[in-house]
C-alpha cells in the first residue's frame, strides 16, 4: 500500500484508553483497541491531505466531516472526506477538517465524538498506536524481510506483500505485540516455549516484546516472560532467539508500509 499505512487512534486527556472506532457503522469511542473496528488506513492525498479508510465490516467507507457531522461515507466524494494531519510530536497527531468545516478538529473531549472549533488542547489530541510495518534484516541478511507467510516465521527475499506486513500494537507497560496481516490475520509473532511461531491471538507474555529504538529507523525486539533477555535474530540467515543483543544480527529496519 504505497503512500498508505494502517493505524489506530487513541484518545488522550480524560478519554485516554479509548479509541476512535467505526465499528457498527458509527463514529464513536471504543474502550481499548478491539480489532479492525478501530483500524484505519491513512491514505495520502494531493496537497498534503489524508483520507481515513475503514477496515473490517466498514471496508470501503471513509471517515467524513461533511455537513458538519461525523459519519462514514462510501468512498472519497470530495473535501468532506479529506483531513489535514498535524504532527504534534511524540507520536501524537491532530486531524483538521477541510471544505465547509475548515478549521474544525476531530475531538473526543467530554467523552464524545464531535468537531471542535479550532485546536483547544488534549481533547483534539490523538496518539497513533498501531501501524503496519515491515522489518528488514540488516548485516549479512540485508534485503531479506521477516515473514509470516505460509503460517511460518522465516526470512523472505524482499518485501512481497501482506506476508511481510505486521501491525505493531501497543500493549501496557511499553510492550508491543506483532499482529499478522494477510492469510495469517488474527495470529501474532510468538516466542513462547523458546521458539518462533504464530500464536492465535495474544495469550500472554509469549506474544509480547520490548521494542528498542536503535536510531536511523532501526530497532531490536526483546522477548519477555520465559524468554526474557533473548532477541529476535536473523543472524546466520535463519530466524531464532539470540541470548542478548549481539549486533547487526539482531538489528532490523522498521519500514512503515
In SS3 terms, the chain reads as CCCEEEEEEEECHHHCCEEEECHHHCCEEEECCCCHHHCEEEEECHHHEEEEEECHHHCCEEEECHHHCCEEEECCCCHHHCEEEEEEECCEEEEEECHHHCCEEEECHHHCCEEEECCCCHHHCEEEEEEEEEEEECHHHCCEEEECHHHCCEEEECCCCHHHCEEEEECHHHCEEEEECHHHCCEEEECHHHCCEEEECCCCHHHCEEEEEEECCEEEEEECHHHCCEEEECHHHCCEEEECCCCHHHCEEEEEC
Cell of 71: 459519519
Cell of 186: 488474527
| Model confidence band, residue 171 (pLDDT cutoffs 50, 70, 90) | confident
Q: Which fold has domain 4-124?
A: Trefoil (Acidic Fibroblast Growth Factor, subunit A) (2.80.10)
Backbone angles phi, psi at 40, to 5 degrees: -130, 145
| pLDDT for the residue numbered 257 | 57
pLDDT (average), residues 70-93: 95
In this predicted structure, the answer to whether residue 12 has a pLDDT above a threshold of 70 is yes
| pLDDT for the residue numbered 3 | 38
Q: Each residue of 209-221: pLDDT tens digit?
A: 999 988 887 999 9
Q: The cell 487512534 sits on which residue?
A: 9
Backbone angles phi, psi at 48, to 5 degrees: 75, 15
Cβ partners under 8 Å of residue 28, min gap 6? 21, 113
User: Residue 3 in contact with residue 43, Cβ under 8 Å?
Assistant: yes
Question: Does residue 256 or residue 190 have the better pLDDT?
Answer: 190
Rounded-to-integer distance, Cα 127 and Cα 115, Å: 18
Where in the sequence of the chain do the CATH 2.80.10.50 domains occur? 4-124, 132-256
Q: Which fold has domain 132-256?
A: Trefoil (Acidic Fibroblast Growth Factor, subunit A) (2.80.10)
pTM of the model: 0.57
In this predicted structure, the answer to whether residue 126 has a pLDDT above a threshold of 80 is yes
Look at residues 93, 94, 92, 89 and name the one whose alpha carbon lies nearest to residue 104.
94
| pLDDT for the residue numbered 243 | 98
pLDDT (average), residues 94-98: 98
User: Residue 52 in contact with residue 63, Cβ under 8 Å?
Assistant: yes
In this predicted structure, the answer to whether residue 88 has a pLDDT above a threshold of 70 is yes
pLDDT (average), residues 238-248: 98
Q: The cell 506474544 sits on which residue?
A: 207
As a whole-number percent, the residues of the chain with pLDDT over 90 amount to: 77
In order of 16, 62, 182, the CA distances from 222 in angstroms are 27, 36, 25
Amino acid at each position: 500500500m504505497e503512500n498508505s499505512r494502517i493505524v489506530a487512534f487513541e484518545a488522550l486527556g480524560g478519554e485516554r484508553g479509548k479509541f476512535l472506532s467505526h465499528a457498527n457503522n458509527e463514529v464513536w469511542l471504543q474502550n481499548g483497541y478491539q480489532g479492525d473496528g478501530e483500524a484505519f488506513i491513512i491514505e495520502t492525498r494531493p496537497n498534503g491531505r489524508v483520507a481515513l479508510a475503514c477496515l473490517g465490516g466498514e471496508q470501503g467507507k471513509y471517515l467524513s466531516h461533511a455537513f458538519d457531522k461525523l459519519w462514514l461515507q462510501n468512498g472519497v466524494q470530495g473535501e468532506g472526506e479529506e483531513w489535514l494531519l498535524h504532527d504534534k510530536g511524540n507520536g501524537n497527531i491532530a486531524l483538521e477538517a477541510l471544505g465547509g468545516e475548515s478549521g474544525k478538529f476531530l475531538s473526543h473531549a467530554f467523552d464524545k465524538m464531535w468537531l471542535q472549533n479550532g485546536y483547544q488542547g488534549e481533547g483534539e489530541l490523538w496518539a497513533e498506536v498501531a501501524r503496519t510495518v515491515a522489518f528488514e534484516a540488516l548485516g549479512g541478511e540485508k534485503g531479506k524481510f521477516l515473514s509470516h507467510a505460509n503460517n511460518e516465521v522465516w526470512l523472505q527475499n524482499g518485501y512481497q506483500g501482506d506476508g511481510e506486513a505486521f501491525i505493531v500494537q501497543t500493549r501496557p507497560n511499553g510492550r508491543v505485540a506483532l499482529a499478522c496481516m494477510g492469510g495469517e490475520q488474527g495470529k501474532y509473532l510468538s516466542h513462547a516455549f523458546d521458539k518462533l511461531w504464530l500464536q492465535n491471538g495474544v495469550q500472554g507474555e509469549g506474544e509480547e516484546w520490548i521494542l528498542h529504538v536503535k536510531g536511523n529507523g532501526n530497532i531490536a525486539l526483546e522477548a519477555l516472560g520465559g524468554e526474557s533477555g533473548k532477541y529476535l535474530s536473523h543472524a546466520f540467515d535463519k530466524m531464532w532467539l539470540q541470548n542478548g543483543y549481539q549486533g547487526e544480527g539482531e538489528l532490523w529496519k522498521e519500514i512503515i508500509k
